[in-house]
Amino acid sequence: MDCKANDIGATNQVIAEYYYAVGFDALIANPFIGWKEGLKPIFDVAHRLQRGVILLVYMSHKGAVEGYGQTIIDAETGQKTPQYIAFAKKALRYEASGVVVGATYPEKVREVHAILDEKIPIFSPGIGAQGGEITAALEAGSRYLIVGRSIAQAKNPAEAAKEIRDLAGLRK
């Protein structure tokens, strides 16, 4: 569920319970809210129900740099670091089920993949409609491609899906 949960803990807990109850296997959460009384209730519900939490590490739109690309002072190390790098490290610490990094920024996908290795998969939106390229995203370390508009807005959605499948090397 691409809800980008981003509220206080009590609200996030209810959000998670409802989405999981209607059948979603995982939800996307925004790590800007922090752990205590932010993300922790989502992870608690997910663990109890054996569901997933995918953290939003770097979005696919042009304005992402204003938040996810900003330089911060890491609270633990005191070092300057990009926000998205701090989020990738938190994904490891929180044992997230996955992270989102926009395919429109393959260099960011590559950096995050270097941190996560193969421990946490990268989901990459922005393929096609926003300019992200399948090959670049996969080579950088994306494991799942989000291609909704490329299919939904195509004149022939079935053909578009087949082309994407073939480009990604997923031939039947």
101-148 pLDDT tens trace: 999 999 999 999 999 999 999 999 999 889 999 999 999 999 999 998
**Sign of CA pseudo-dihedral 109, 32, 80, 54:** negative
Instruction: State the average pLDDT over residues 13-20.
Output: 98
Which whole number is the average pLDDT over 32-58?
A: 97
Q: How much is the pTM?
A: 0.92
Structure tokens at 74: 């890491």
In the chain, the domains with their CATH numbers are 9-147 (3.20.20.70)
Is-catalytic flag, 4? yes
pLDDT at 167: 84
Distance CA 121, CA 136 (A): 16
Active-site residue identified among 4, 40, 90, 162: 4
